[in-house]
Chain A
Amino acid sequence: FPVAPEKEQKDMQLAKKYLENFYDFKEEKHSLFKAKDLSRMADKIREMQSFFGLEMTGELNQKTLDMMKQPRCGIPDVRS
């Protein structure tokens, strides 16, 4: 079944925060080019999936989200 839009929004926020904290992702707050932002985010998701040995889809799938929700160390996984 498709994910409820509200949950999707929450998941997206969580993912952005996670990638900012641990994968050096920086969202362009006032960017006119949202597509470019999404593409950079997909790259970062792919990087995170690669680190954890997940399938590198670049998409925010359930397995990736589950991994992001695990308790963890606060030090980034990649060098900024």
Chain B
Amino acid sequence: YSTFPYSPTWKKEDVTYRILNYTPDMLQADVDEAIARAFQLWSSVTPLRFTRVYGGQADIMISFAAGFHGDFYSFDGPGGTLAHAYAPGSGIGGDAHFDEDENWTKFTTNSGYNLFLVAAHELGHSLGLSHSNVFGALMYPIYMPVDTRNYQLHQDDIDGIQALYGPPKEPDALPTKAFPPQEPTEMIPAEAPTPTLPREEPTEITPSKPPQRPDDCDPHLTFDAITTLRGETLFFKGSYVWRKSPYFSEIEHDTISSFWPSLIDGFDAAYEVDKRDRVLFFKDDQYWAVSGYRIESGFPRPIQNLGFPSSVRRIDAAVHDQSTKRTYFFVGNKYWSYNENTQSMERGYPRKIASDFQGIVHPIDAALQKNGYFYFFHGSNQYEVDMKRKKLIRTMKSNSWFNC
């Protein structure tokens, strides 16, 4: 992330905004909602509170305009520049302008720009963030069409805004008026906009405390799933991802939504078939295939497509053996073997884990193949196993990969 020169910020926690006019592309209520959701994104990770006002001067004035509109940066017709906003300050400071020559929508479609996404980015500027060069961050300057249901800020955005304002205050200290969760439904938009009357009461948006990422070196740290991806290793827990890469020394902290915005948090299992550049994610009785950032079409699919009986409702862990082209699925105290070449479950399975892997007596939370060994995770421990000899080599803490 980066900030503007001299890092200007609002010197107060109550910031006002006003919507000066509306785009005819959307229902006014949808514009109001998109802007309110965009503010909520930032208030959820800072002590800031945003209040909408309907007249007079607000800290952040929001407007739609085309071409030259009285500031230093004229808009350029459809495409190109979509919007811009000014760093915190008096006058034009904090204001956000949206190019009326664009087609604004409440959806993520190919025929328009999602107002919530663009507004959330611009309001980042209004609060003092400049552009980030981290791909996937909201403050990355390029518009990236993503599904905005359950949209969450990238860790880089959170780090940036909290460097300026700090984290949210403790819930006890918060006002009790909470912004209701509003998740838009991705559906066909209505054609004709209908005017809505402004409400007389100002709308106050207050933050809700986001879940905390567990500490890397917490000895009790457990994982939902682990997989390799193009030479890197990804550890999943809830919405969080720890990324260990041979290309950088530090462990990178991300969220699932920053890589795959439309996937649901809390994977049960994951594994990579490196020869196909494909990672499969499992959640309950469904699975998804991704290639890098791209989610393959036709997913999710039911896990029964892989050959599981209908009695299996979820997978605990999965790991692909690159040398044998077999994938092992762990469910309770049993495991299955799937032949990736024939795309079918092998005969003779399921078998008891403890029968074939001596010393592994617990269900497996996550599994990983690395450096010729298999690592089976249970709670805060992991077991290093030599698969050829099916022999337990040693036991370690689950977070031994994080240089603690």
Interface centre among A51, A67, A70, A73 (most CB of B within 10 A): A73
Contact present for B141 and A77 (CB under 8 Å): yes
Contact present for B133 and A51 (CB under 8 Å): yes
A-B contact pairs, 14 of them (CB 8 A): A72-B143, A73-B81, A73-B82, A73-B83, A73-B125, A73-B131, A74-B82, A75-B84, A75-B125, A75-B130, A75-B141, A76-B131, A77-B133, A79-B5
CB neighbours (8 Å) of B79 from chain A are: 71
Q: List residues 18-65 of chain A with CB under 8 A from any CB of chain B.
A: 21-22, 51-53
Q: Is the CB of B142 closer than 8 A to any CB of chain A? A: yes
CB neighbours (8 Å) of A70 from chain B are: 142-143
Give A30 to B142 CA distance when docked, in angstroms. Answer: 33
Give A73 to B131 CA distance when docked, in angstroms. Answer: 9
Chain B: minimal CB distance from A64 (Å): 13
User: Nearest chain-A residue to B82 (Cβ)?
Assistant: A71
Chain B: minimal CB distance from A10 (Å): 14
Chain A: minimal CB distance from B144 (Å): 9
Sorting the interface of chain B by its residue count into under 10, 10 to 19, 20 to 34 or 35 or more gives: 20 to 34
Known interface pairs A51-B131, A75-B84, A75-B85; 19 further A-B residue pairs with C-beta atoms within 8 A, sorted by A's residue number: A21-B81, A52-B142, A53-B133, A53-B135, A71-B80, A71-B143, A72-B81, A72-B82, A73-B81, A73-B82, A73-B84, A73-B131, A73-B143, A74-B81, A74-B84, A75-B141, A77-B133, A77-B141, A79-B5
Binding site for A on B (CB under 8 A): 4-5, 73, 75, 79-85, 113, 118, 121-122, 125, 130-131, 133, 135, 141-143
CB neighbours (8 Å) of A79 from chain B are: 4-5, 130
Contact present for A74 and B73 (CB under 8 Å): yes
Contact present for B133 and A73 (CB under 8 Å): no
Chain B: minimal CB distance from A53 (Å): 7
Give A22 to B80 CA distance when docked, in angstroms. Answer: 12
Chain B: minimal CB distance from A78 (Å): 9
Q: Within the complex, which residue of A53, A67, A73 is in contact with B121, where a contact is CB–CB below 8 Å?
A: A73
Give A77 to B81 CA distance when docked, in angstroms. Answer: 13
A74-B75 contact, Cβ under 8 Å, with A67-B142, A79-B5? yes
Give A65 to B113 CA distance when docked, in angstroms. Answer: 21
User: Nearest chain-B residue to A71 (Cβ)?
Assistant: B143
User: Nearest chain-B residue to A75 (Cβ)?
Assistant: B84
Chain B: minimal CB distance from A74 (Å): 4
Q: Within the complex, which residue of A52, A73, A76 is in contact with B122, where a contact is CB–CB below 8 Å?
A: A73
